[in-house]
Structure 1
C-alpha cells in the first residue's frame, strides 16, 4: 500500500520544517518563493491531496489565519540611538513588511532572568503579555546578558542574534565584521606614518568594541606595523564626563609617550574626544589624528569631518530577518555566523 503523503512526509523529503511546508502550501508568508515552488512541485509529484495549493495574497495573509509574528528583542538603552540601532531596527521592519510578516518589539527586563522560585515558562518570563502560539521566531538585537539569552534559547522558537556573539549560545549570528573594521582603520593610520596609536574603548560596553580592538591589534602585528605601537585607553563610556578624566590621564603622560593618533571604538567616542582636545587648544589633524568606527551622520557634521569605517545598519537588520526565515524553513541546516564587510571612509580628521 502506498504511504499516505502528509505534510511531515513532504518536510522530511525536502529537509524543511512542517511549519515551512504548511505555510508554502497555504500561500502564507514566512517562506521564500523558491521554497514555496519546491514544496508545491514535490506535493504534486507525490500526489498530496489534502488541500489546493494557494498563492500568497498581496498582503501575504489569510483572513481566517493571521500570520505568525516575529518577536524583536531590543534593549531600552538602544531605543534612543537613532544613528545606529534605530537604523538596524528600520532594516528589520522594512524586511518584515516586504515579507508580509507582522512583528512585535519588546525589551525583556534583566530582572526577568533571575530565579524567582516560580515555575514560569521562558516565554512568560520574556513577554508574558504575548500569544506565544503565534510567535514564528525571535530576533535579538545587541548585547543582552547570558541569562536573557538562555531564556530565548529555551523558548522553543527559531532565533538569531544581531550584532552580538555569545560563545555559549548556539544559533545563527549576524554581525558587521568588527575585527575587519578595527584592522582597516589601524592600517589607514599606519599608512599615514603614525607611530603611536591610542585606542579609546570600554570593553564592557559591547562585544563589538572588543572585536574592534582585536582587529587593531592584528593590524599592528603585520609587517607594516612593526615600528609603531598601540596602547589601550579605557573609559567608562556609559558615565558622563569621561572625556575630562581621560584628558587628565593624557596630560599626566610624558609627552614622548602620548599617542600621535587616536581611534575611538565608535564615532561618538572619537567625536567627543576630538572636541575635548580642540577645547584644550590641540589642533586636529595637525597635532593629532583622530578616527572612529560606525559612519554615523554626526561624523560629517563635525569640523574637521571624521575619518571612519562604514558599518552596514539597515542591511544588518534586513539580513537578520532573512537568516531567521532560513532557520524557520530549514531548522536542521548548519548554524551560520555571517559578517557583513566594512569600508574605510577617509576624511579630514586624519
Structure 2
C-alpha cells in the first residue's frame, strides 16, 4: 500500500512553505487562487486524500454580493471602446443578479506600506461580499500581483499577462491583423504598407502588428514592403510625428496602404492625409481595427475589423462565473473572433 505523501514533501516539490500547502489543502484563506490550484492539482496527482466536498447548500451569492471592476484611468473616458465593453460587463452582472463596483486604479502603488492589498485597491468596499475581480485593459505586473493577493477570483479582460495564472478573455488580435493584411494584400493588391501603432499602449497593439506581419509573409510578393511606424499614441503628439515623417518621403516612396492599430488612429490619420493632399482611397487606402461606431460615419467610411465589445464584457462575466463555481479547474484563455468589415476607405 502506497504511503500518503506528507505536506512537507508537497511543499518541497512546489517550492512553498508547509503553512501555505496546509492552508490550501484545508480550504482556508491566506493563499492565492493560483497557489491553491497548484497545491490541489499536485495533491490529486499524488493521491493525497482531500476532504470530501460539502453538501450542496444555498448559493453563496447574497443580496450585497458584487463584482469589482478595475479600469485603467487612461481608458475610463473612451466612449467608443471601453465604455461599450463596460456596458457588456454590467449587463452580464445584472443578468446574474450581481451588483458591481467600479474603481479607476492607478498603475502603481507605494512599494513600502503596511496596508493590505484590499486597503490599497478599494478601502471603502466590503471585501467579504466581493465575488471576484475583473481587470479591464493593461496593468503593470506588480499591480496585478496585488490583486491576486486579495484571494479573490481574477479575470483579465483585453490583456495578456503570461506570468499570472488566471483566466483571460481577449479579442483575437493576431487574427484581426492577419485579416486586414490579407484584405489589403490579396484583395486590394497593395504592395507598400505601413502599420501605425504603439506597442507601449497595450498587448493588443503588438498582437495586431504580428498578425499583419503574418499576412505579409503569406500573401506578399518579393516586392511587398511593410513598414512599422512606432508612434507615441499613448503619450500624445503621434499625429504630428507621423505627418512629419510622411513629409520626408519622396512621392515614389509613399505607401499605398495604411493600417491603424485601432480605428481612432486610422480615422485621424485618414483625415490628416486628406489635409495634406493625399486622396483616400484613390492614392492610399486606409484601414483600422475595432469597428467603433464612428468608423461607419467617417468620410470615407472606414474599412475595419469588427471586434465585439459588449460581447467581450459579457463573456468575461461568464468566465468569472465559471471560476467561482469551479475554483480548482485549469485556467482558460479565451479569444473572441474577428470579422472583416469592408467599406469605402480600402
TM class by shorter chain equals: 0.7 to 0.9
Check whether the contact 1:179–1:212 (CA below 8 A) recurs between aligned residues. yes
Instruction: Find the counterpart in structure 1 of residue 121 from structure 2.
Output: 126
Deviations 1:70-103 (A, max 9, x none): 1110122212111110110100100110100111
Aligned equivalent of 1:105, options 88, 102, 105: 102
Q: Which moved more, 1:193-202 or 1:124-133?
A: 124-133
CA distance, structure 2, for counterparts of residue 214 and residue 21 of structure 1: 47
CA distance, structure 2, for counterparts of residue 263 and residue 281 of structure 1: 19
**TM-score scaled by length of structure 2:** 0.81
2:105 aligned counterpart, secondary structure: coil
Does residue 71 (structure 1) correspond to residue 103 (structure 2)? The answer is: no
Structure 2 spans left out of the alignment, 5+ residues: 1-26, 28-39, 45-50
Are the structure 2 counterparts of residues 126 and 185 from structure 1 closer, same or farther at C-alpha, using a change threshold of 3 Å?
A: same
Counterparts of 1:1-350 in structure 2, within 5 Å, are: 25-27=57-59, 29=61, 65-112=62-109, 114-116=110-112, 118-191=113-186, 192-350=188-346
Deviations 1:102-148 (A, max 9, x none): 11111222342x312x2221111111111111111110000111111
Matched positions, count: 297
Are the structure 2 counterparts of residues 104 and 125 from structure 1 closer, same or farther at C-alpha, using a change threshold of 3 Å?
A: same
Structure 1 spans left out of the alignment, 5+ residues: 1-7, 30-64
Instruction: Find the counterpart in structure 2 of residue 35 from structure 1.
Output: none
CA distance, structure 2, for counterparts of residue 174 and residue 168 of structure 1: 16
Instruction: Find the counterpart in structure 2 of residue 61 from structure 1.
Output: none
**TM-score scaled by length of structure 1:** 0.81
1:274 aligned counterpart, secondary structure: helix
1:110 aligned counterpart, secondary structure: coil
CA distance, structure 1, for counterparts of residue 254 and residue 63 of structure 2: 61
Are the structure 2 counterparts of residues 223 and 111 from structure 1 closer, same or farther at C-alpha, using a change threshold of 3 Å?
A: closer
Deviations 1:315-345 (A, max 9, x none): 1000001000101111111111000000000
CA distance, structure 2, for counterparts of residue 105 and residue 121 of structure 1: 19
Shift of 1:66: 2.9
Shift of 1:225: 4.7
Deviations 1:1-48 (A, max 9, x none): xxxxxxx9xxx9xx9xx9x978x632565xxxxxxxxxxxxxxxxxxx
CA distance, structure 2, for counterparts of residue 188 and residue 228 of structure 1: 14
Check whether the contact 1:190–1:225 (CA below 8 A) recurs between aligned residues. no
CA distance, structure 1, for counterparts of residue 141 and residue 170 of structure 2: 18
CA distance, structure 1, for counterparts of residue 54 and residue 299 of structure 2: 56
1:133 aligned counterpart, secondary structure: helix
CA distance, structure 2, for counterparts of residue 153 and residue 125 of structure 1: 13
Check whether the contact 2:196–2:229 (CA below 8 A) recurs between aligned residues. yes
